[in-house]
Amino acid sequence: MIVDCAIYRHGHRTEGPEDLSDALAEARAAGGFVWIGLYEPSEREFDLVTDEFGLHPLAVEDALKAHQRPKLEVYDDSLFMVIKPVVYEPDSDAVSAGEVMVFVGDCFVVTVRHGEGAPLAAVRHRLEEEPEMLDKGPTAVLYAIADATVDHYLEVATELQTDLDELEAQVFQPETGSSRNTASRIYTFKRQVLEFRRATVPLALPLARLAGNGSLGGSVPFVHDKARPFFRDVGDHLTRVNESVESLDRLVSDILSAHLAQMSVRQNDDMRKISAWAAMAAVPTMIAGIYGMNFDHMPELHWLWSYPAVIALMAVLEVLLYRLFKRRGWL
């Protein structure tokens, strides 16, 4: 459905006609642009926008189906960019990603939102309070969306780092580190980092194109050349985010390896203790087994002190074995 539709002239909002064709013609005549926001539109709803703005059918298909990687596509009449905002849910310590598709033309912007994580309402409100920025045209809208999304990436990365520190502390606590659920918690956290990484890493290439960096230099249609430094700044922030994501991924893998090594050491300790107690139990069993045999001629069989002597011998051997195993760290 259409969430919002407005015409912007000289950085100020004016309510345009309900008919999209009239709104587009009015925006062109006034030297402004029209910004239409849609939320999970149906194919029938989006056909109206497609026909009026001449959007490319491949981009329209991507916008309707969603589940796209961040990318930038240039068509004859418009520019199409996919951005994946990320939301951190503190109650469940989970990361979920939405999608924002942005169509940019000579005097129009069409944004299509999927999921609940897109900051478009806040971006529109912020831009309307900065007429000088909004006066730059559709490029300003594309920059503001990318900037708000990447800034929120930084916040999510900070939250994930805090969760990772808490998880690391739990893993190395003697009383909780050996819990059966520890490995499951580590793996779940790694899945959250992977979900975050799918949103941030592919966005680097589109921002590099918009900033004109390296071999990707050159003007991008429908994007003003003076906007390059702004997109370059967003790209720098995204680089910080991607470095944080790489660090989180390595650390959580190291924590999982440390946990598994810790579990292996504890299992070896348990096996040594079991083996030591078994060896201590074998000595009296052996002696009792020998003296329990039905022999007529046996040393000291009819001796009055045979029983206490054998019990004392067992006790002495058990003490010696216990001290030996204790000294070697088996008990």
Are 34 and 15 a contacting pair, CB within 8 Å?
A: no
Average pLDDT over residues 14-22: 73
Name the residue with higher pLDDT: 25 or 308: 25
- The first and second tokens of residue 216, run together, are 């990707």
How confident is the model over 183-208, as a mean pLDDT? 88
pTM score above 0.85: no
Q: What is the dihedral of CA 188, 253, 250, 117, to 10 degrees?
A: 0
Whether the pLDDT of residue 313 is over 80: the answer is no
Using CA of residue 273, residue 278, residue 280, residue 281, what is the dihedral sign? positive
Bridge partners of residue 71, in order along the sequence: 82
Which pair of structure tokens corresponds to residue 268?
Answer: 């070896």
Using the 8-state DSSP alphabet, how is residue 90 labeled? T
DSSP conformation class of 130 = -
Find the farthest-apart pair of alpha carbons in the chain and give their distance in angstroms, rounded: 124
Q: Are 8 and 33 in contact (CB under 8 A)?
A: yes
Of 91-95, 205-209, 216-220, 300-304, give the lowest mean pLDDT range.
300-304
Which one has a higher pLDDT value, 17 or 316?
A: 316
Please write the tens of the pLDDT for every residue from 110-164: 999 988 766 688 888 888 888 888 888 899 999 999 999 999 999 999 988 888 8
**Packed helices 43-53 and 57-65: angle between N→C axes, nearest 10 degrees:** 150
Does the pLDDT at position 52 exceed 70? yes
Q: How confident is the model at residue 317 (pLDDT cuts 50, 70, 90)?
A: confident
Q: Exposed, middle or buried by CB within 10 Å (0-12, 13-18, 19+), for 117? A: buried
- Report yes or no: 150 and 125 within 8 Å, Cβ to Cβ: no
Q: Residue 1 above 60 pLDDT?
A: yes
Please check the confidence at residue 49 and state whether its pLDDT lies above 70. yes
Per-residue pLDDT at 297 exceeds 50? no
Average pLDDT, the chain: 82
